[in-house]
Amino acid sequence: AAPTLVDQDGGLDDALALALLVSSPAARLVAVTSVHGNVTAPAAAANAARVLELYEHRHVPIAIGADAPLAKPPHLAHPRDPLRHVIGAPRTNTPCAEAADELILRQARTHAGELDILAIGPLTNIATALRAEPKLPRLVRRLVVMGGAFEHPGNLTVHAEANIGHDPEAAASVLAADFATTVVPLDLTRTVTATRRWLVQLVRTAPSIRMKTTAALLVLAAPRRALRLHDAVAAAVLLDPAIVTATRSSPVRITLEPGPHHGQSRHASGSARPVETIVRAVDGERVRVQLLMALT
């Protein structure tokens, strides 16, 4: 199993991504780091800790990371921390003393050339780790990023997707670096949902109490229409690249200038280094089935 580090911002879909990851034989979770975004970085660490407790992965170190973007004041998408109200505070798992970027570097050096990183929050921690160690891309095997809205509107603003828009400077530096990067954008993740009907059905038919409970919690947490699985889709891509059915490769330009396009991600032309893989389509039912199996 590939040593894997998850950098996350404590949302419901971040929790589902973690659950998928720890349940898969394809990955071995070696560390979790937290970043501002959905909630504060300490709250994101606490949410991850509770998920790791529920999934019997208390031993995995968790480090608190950047609580603000590189170049602007923080803006939280869900300051009321809805996940905290569903799963409660962690009981035992306390964050380690290292900062997130230090833990990222330590894990990258320990697993040089083998570490996979799943980045499912703003890219601030990865950017500061990269600043401290410019050779980081050579130490990391794969970087899978959930982020960007290229063809459809964003979810932070009309133009910006949240993970990129919360820290455009960090995203620009990470996506221009020499990582073997796979970007799983909002254009794709918005199409892979767990409908309320699918979840209610799962509550009825689930073969285990844990799965029934998880499905019921998801129903409670899910908005009226459907639960968006964003980060879980990125985790599924990392765990099983065979679910990907269409990709493209291109340089990515992030708008850093203030104004309505701030944080927008676009395919760029020219000689800039291309992002290796931008996922355009996946087998959505396989993602849902993987998730279902993970929750069992």
Kindly list the residues in this chain that would bind Ca ion in the complex (CB under 5 A). Answer: 9, 11, 14, 120-121, 231
Radius of gyration over alpha carbons of the chain, in Å?
Answer: 18
162 binds, options Ca ion, ligand BDR, none, Cβ within 5 to 8 A by partner type: ligand BDR
On whether the CB atoms of residues 147 and 278 are closer than 8 A, the answer is no
Residue with Cβ nearer ligand BDR (193 or 206): 193
Residue 61 binding partner per list ligand BDR, Ca ion, none, with a CB distance cut-off of 5 to 8 Å that depends on partner kind: none
The option from Ca ion, ligand BDR, none interacting with 65 (CB < 5 to 8 A, set by class) reads none
Nearest one of 114, 143, 119 to 2, comparing CA atoms = 114
Q: Which does 284 bind (CB under 5 to 8 A by kind): Ca ion, ligand BDR, none?
A: none
Least CB distance to ligand BDR at residue 76 (A): 10
Structure tokens at 290: 């993987």
- Please state the φ and ψ torsions of residue 121, each to the nearest 5 degrees: -140, -170
Q: Which is nearer to Ca ion, 35 or 139 (CB)?
A: 35
> What's the per-residue H, E or C state across 79-121?
CCCHHHHHHCCCCCCCCCCCCHHHHHHHHHHHCCCCEEEEEEC
Return the number of the residue (48 or 252) whose C-beta is nearest Ca ion. Answer: 48
- Which H or E run includes 165? helix 162-165
- Residue 201 three-state SS: helix
CB of 147 to ligand BDR, least distance (A): 7
Would you call 75 a catalytic residue per the annotation? no
CB of 37 to Ca ion, least distance (A): 6
What does 77 interact with, of Ca ion, ligand BDR, none (CB < 5 to 8 A by kind)? Answer: ligand BDR
Burial annotation 104-121 (CB, 10 A radius, 16+ → b, else e): bbbbbeebeeebbbbbbb
Q: How far is the CB of 274 from ligand BDR (least distance, A)?
A: 22
CA 68/CA 127 separation, integer angstroms: 12
Which one of 152, 230, 261, 267 is the catalytic residue?
Answer: 230
Shortest spacing between CB 38 and Ca ion, in angstroms: 6
Residues that bind ligand BDR (CB under 6 A): 9, 11, 13-14, 37-38, 77, 120-121, 146, 155, 161-163, 186, 230-231
Residue 8 pairs in a beta bridge with 34, 120
If the CB atoms of residues 206 and 254 are measured against ligand BDR, the closer one turns out to be: 254
Q: Which is nearer to Ca ion, 66 or 120 (CB)?
A: 120
Distance of CA 180 to the CA centre of its chain: 16
Q: Which residues are catalytic?
A: 230
